[in-house]
Amino acid sequence: MKNNLNELTDPTKLHEPVSISNIDDEILKKMLKSMILIRETEHKLAEARKEGLIGGPVHLGAGQEAIAVGISQSLQPTDRVFGAHRSHSHLLALNPDFYRLFAEILGKDTGFSKGMGGSMHLFDQHSGFYGSVPIVAGTVALAVGAAMAAKMQNTNDIGVAYIGDGAVEEGVVHEAFNLSKIHESPILFVVENNLFASHMHISLRQPNDMISRFAVANEIPFEVLDGNDVCSVYRSAKKLIEQMREGNGPRLIELVTYRHYGHVDWRDDIDVGVKRSQKDVADWKERDPITRLSKSLISEGLWSPDEEESFKEELRTNISLAWEKAMNDPYPDLTATMKYVFSYKSKEES
């Protein structure tokens, strides 16, 4: 495999604090808190899954928080964001309501998808989160269509498609890239390149580790960045999104990252991952997006270890309370299985 991403894929590099220049203090703190909230929420899910309290699979994205958080600062609630199987962060970065996420994952009526979706089918259109599904690349064309609609509706809204490095191995992604470019649709393709599709390392799946080569093939402007540097993600996404809101067509941003957990649930997946070693996981945890921003803010006097500790303490209390509340919430009514198949009702049904 050609290593076009160079040091971005070397986990012994890029451990230092991130540069916070030219970003508003409030946004910096907001991004830090958002990343911590997502991390703590996912730790709770990992623990609950391990204890057997969650019935279905959870695909955790701990380690990858900087991407959704960096992107979402430039989004508006009327944008159209589509996710995939590992989308807790994509949703929580737009709406930090972990209680409704817990309720959803527990299959409760109070969840984001009214308990009908679980971890893999999330919905919160009010915040711009149109939906996530576990069919790899299943929402890419949908996001393009929602972006085409934004243009037809004379808005400056954009579509956002979160995809992974595995998704580009599906043919529809290339159809979607091409279609979006032909129509100059305002769609941001966010490629979370975490180097793995399930258990398989990218070197066993593709001849080149840089996913952006497909942007080149479709004349789509793109950027490739350290996905664990929330400030870089923020600056780059802000610029690309502004270009799209001004009437320009698709953009692609490739963020190199790594997940702390295995493909699914709480395990490390060292045993089932091909080319996933304990050393790699440990090295990647040193390139942690939260620690790197926290250190920068502390050294600039914008944040302190005490503040971080009390923030986490309060958050953990709230997470525990939300979890307990969700655990006690009702399941959907038994009629739900049939009720939601169609939206439209006949005279007899309504």
Q: Which residues bind another protein (CB under 8 A)?
A: 80, 82, 111, 113-117, 121, 123, 125, 130-131, 133, 135, 138-150, 152-153, 159, 171-172, 175-176, 178-179, 182, 332, 336, 339-347, 349
Q: Closest separation between CB of residue 172 and another protein, Å?
A: 5
CA dist 206 and 161 (Å) reads 21
Judged by beta carbon, residue 70 or residue 115, the one nearer another protein is: 115
CA dist 238 and 235 (Å) reads 5
- Residue 22 region, left (φ>0) first, then alpha (ψ -120 to 50), else beta? left
Instruction: Find the Cα–Cα–Cα–Cα dihedral 245, 246, 248, 253, rounded to 10°.
Output: -50
Judged by beta carbon, residue 42 or residue 79, the one nearer another protein is: 79
Q: Closest separation between CB of residue 239 and another protein, Å?
A: 25
Judged by beta carbon, residue 184 or residue 308, the one nearer another protein is: 184
Q: Closest separation between CB of residue 60 and another protein, Å?
A: 20
**C-alpha triplet 234, 197, 193: angle, nearest 5°:** 20
CA dist 102 and 40 (Å) reads 12
> Angle formed by the axes of helices 289-299 and 65-72, to 10°?
60
Judged by beta carbon, residue 119 or residue 236, the one nearer another protein is: 119
Tokens of 168: 């580009």
Judged by beta carbon, residue 138 or residue 227, the one nearer another protein is: 138
- Nearby residues of 43 by Cβ (< 8 Å), 6 or more positions away: 62
Judged by beta carbon, residue 62 or residue 161, the one nearer another protein is: 161
Q: Closest separation between CB of residue 318 and another protein, Å?
A: 25
